[in-house]
Structure 1
Amino acid sequence: MFKSRVKNSCGGIVFGVIFFFGSIALLWYNEGRSVKRYRALNDVESAVIKIDPNKIYLANEGQPVYFSSTLRSPTNIIDPIFGAGSSNDLKLRRDVEIYQWVENVKKTSRKTASGTRVTTKSYTYRKEWRSDLVDSETFKRRDGHHNPSSVPYESETFTANPINAGAYNLTEDLIDRLTWFKDLDGVSTESITDVTVRSATKQFGDKLYIGRSADPNNPNVGDITIAFQVVPSGTVSLIAEQVGNTLTTYSTKKGSEILLLQPGTVSLEMLLNDARSENKMWAWILRFAGFVIMFMSLNALVGPLKIFVDIIPILGDIIECGLSLVSFVVAFTVSSIVIAIAWIAYRPMLALFGIVLPVAFISLSVLYLQRRKTAKTDENTKLFHAVIV
């Protein structure tokens, strides 16, 4: 047991080294990505043209344009098997869930009298509705826990073609961003044209149910439910590049890509401000992710040392905790240094300001304290001479 733990921890050193340098690369990339995105949004702000979506101006060819308009499509989208759908919808999504066995593994770890650590695993099984097929062949206990290897119907998304915003057609770049799905009302087995499929399908609230059980509330493993969601026609606000009568992703002169789309009527300023806020949010998320990866990699690097001290009663746990704390401090310090150096590389003026300001503040504070100390010393000297006189 002890040898296997040492062997595994030594293997963890390799992954620790890889992930340590990977975290540095992630932190560096993130700062560059954030600056590049910030500058691209500024470039778009200075170049974007507000237009009437119902007219096409050839002078705007290849330029970023902004407008708010209602998205429509002359075609209706209907599920070819179940007949679900409605007019004026832009996307229709069929969501299939399968009732299956799911394995849950619980690990417990304890120390023996000799100081070695023993890990045991317990396996439990329960039935759940899942959108993905669960491979029961990988279960620890396969007897009585068999899942189907395939389903008769799969999840699928249907998209209207074309989708128009005024006089313009949306390209795939914009269509892929239409993600505000909502449940489709009025789903019914009456919409199914195939007699065989309709006879095998039951109504289950706003869903359809296909299975061996007569009661959808008491399903069998392998039974499926089918739900439908749509992206309805509605107003959107966007910034995109005009190419003929189409709208696509805009590429700045420096090679950055900008494509902004939000549901509803959103002002140009708000659209850009939201994009800037999102950029800041992702910058902090990736900074935190880089720090966490670095912390975990350092923990992996000191893994063998933790195993050796683990055999020492009581003291071993304290040392382990101390090693984790050291890993945390080192990860925080190195992450901060990497971010600081990246700032110098990508934002030299801002980084310089960030260095000069604290240094100036500290210098002025020290100078002020020294002058106060000198003034107080002079005052005490004068008082001393006055007392003597």
Structure 2
Amino acid sequence: IFYCRQASTLKMTNPALSPLEPSNFTMWVCGCIVLLFSLPMTFLNERKQAKIYYTISEAAKRVVSNVSPHAVDLHNNYSLVHCQGKTYTQREVVDENFGICLSQTLRIIRRVEMLQWVEIKREEFSSMGTRTWYEYRQEWRTHLVDHRQFDQQRGHENPSCMPCIGETFNCEEAYLGQYQ
């Protein structure tokens, strides 16, 4: 079942009261500063990606493929191996808050969402001023939305805390054939 309530408001700002627009020179200087910072960042990011690509390429060359998981071969010690099989565990994964205890499970992921009000702001600029629309709707969110930051707080209050937090519970021991 999808549940959604919406509300919206409109505000008009007089251009005489709005802050002055920056000059072309100011915009040019800001653009140059952004460009000066973006070039080294792009270089560093590309260098990092090249290192990752090189590492993965080397691993692909050195991998020992089609290794049987049912027998341990000491010849493959300290090697990157690839094997296929069914993973299993002899332990249970437990979420104590909800009393969930599952066997033959490697992971439980508890994802918590709460229906909350969210504000969507839309602005339209013109020579007559700035028109601002605020739309309020309820959406399922995994994190808290602070209603105190809304333009229209009344009638759009959200709880101050989540009823419980999302967590991941992993099995401590898992096996793939003879491998742990």
Shorter-normalised TM-score: what interval? 0.7 to 0.9
* CA distance in 1 between partners of 2:149 and 2:28 (Å): 24
- Residue by residue over 1:225-281, the C-alpha shift from the partner in whole angstroms, topping out at 9 and shown as x without a partner, is xxxxxxxxxxxxxxxxxxxxxxxxxxxxxxxxxxxxxxxxxxxxxxxxxxxxxxxxx
Does 2:130 align with 1:119?
yes
In structure 1, the partner of 2:159 is 148
Greater C-alpha radius of gyration? 1
Runs of 5+ in structure 1 lacking a partner?
Answer: 113-117, 170-389
Q: TM-score, length-normalised on structure 1?
A: 0.37
* CA distance in 1 between partners of 2:79 and 2:172 (Å): 25
In structure 2, the partner of 1:130 is 141
In structure 2, the partner of 1:297 is none
Does 2:52 align with 1:37?
yes
Change (3 A) 1:17 1:74: farther
Q: Does the CA contact (< 8 Å) of 2:113 and 2:140 recur in 1?
A: yes
* CA distance in 1 between partners of 2:116 and 2:60 (Å): 51
Give me the identity figure in percent.
28
After TM superposition, give the deviation of residue 85 of structure 1 in Å: 5.1
After TM superposition, give the deviation of residue 35 of structure 1 in Å: 3.6
- Residue by residue over 1:162-220, the C-alpha shift from the partner in whole angstroms, topping out at 9 and shown as x without a partner, is 12222223xxxxxxxxxxxxxxxxxxxxxxxxxxxxxxxxxxxxxxxxxxxxxxxxxxx
- Residue by residue over 1:339-360, the C-alpha shift from the partner in whole angstroms, topping out at 9 and shown as x without a partner, is xxxxxxxxxxxxxxxxxxxxxx
* CA distance in 2 between partners of 1:34 and 1:159 (Å): 30
* CA distance in 1 between partners of 2:149 and 2:133 (Å): 15
SS across alignment from 2:42: helix
**Over aligned residues, Cα RMSD in angstroms?**
2.7
Runs of 5+ in structure 2 lacking a partner?
Answer: 1-15
After TM superposition, give the deviation of residue 126 of structure 1 in Å: 1.8
Does 2:51 align with 1:72?
no
Change (3 A) 1:78 1:20: same
Q: Does the CA contact (< 8 Å) of 1:97 and 1:130 recur in 2?
A: yes
* CA distance in 1 between partners of 2:28 and 2:85 (Å): 55
After TM superposition, give the deviation of residue 101 of structure 1 in Å: 1.3
Change (3 A) 1:53 1:17: farther
In structure 2, the partner of 1:168 is 179
**Structure of greater relative contact order (alpha carbons < 8 Å, 6+ residues apart):** 2
Q: AA paired with 2:103?
A: S
In structure 2, the partner of 1:379 is none
In structure 2, the partner of 1:63 is 79
After TM superposition, give the deviation of residue 135 of structure 1 in Å: 0.3
* CA distance in 1 between partners of 2:167 and 2:28 (Å): 40
Q: TM-score, length-normalised on structure 2?
A: 0.74
- Residue by residue over 1:299-352, the C-alpha shift from the partner in whole angstroms, topping out at 9 and shown as x without a partner, is xxxxxxxxxxxxxxxxxxxxxxxxxxxxxxxxxxxxxxxxxxxxxxxxxxxxxx
Q: Does the CA contact (< 8 Å) of 1:85 and 1:92 recur in 2?
A: no
Identify the structure with the greater helix proportion.
1
Number of equivalent positions: 162
Q: Does the CA contact (< 8 Å) of 2:90 and 2:103 recur in 1?
A: no
* CA distance in 1 between partners of 2:175 and 2:33 (Å): 48
Change (3 A) 1:144 1:3: closer
Q: AA paired with 1:157?
A: T
* CA distance in 2 between partners of 1:121 and 1:18 (Å): 30
* CA distance in 1 between partners of 2:117 and 2:159 (Å): 10
- Residue by residue over 1:133-185, the C-alpha shift from the partner in whole angstroms, topping out at 9 and shown as x without a partner, is 1001111121222111112311111111112222223xxxxxxxxxxxxxxxx
* CA distance in 1 between partners of 2:93 and 2:117 (Å): 34
* CA distance in 1 between partners of 2:122 and 2:74 (Å): 64
* CA distance in 1 between partners of 2:164 and 2:62 (Å): 48
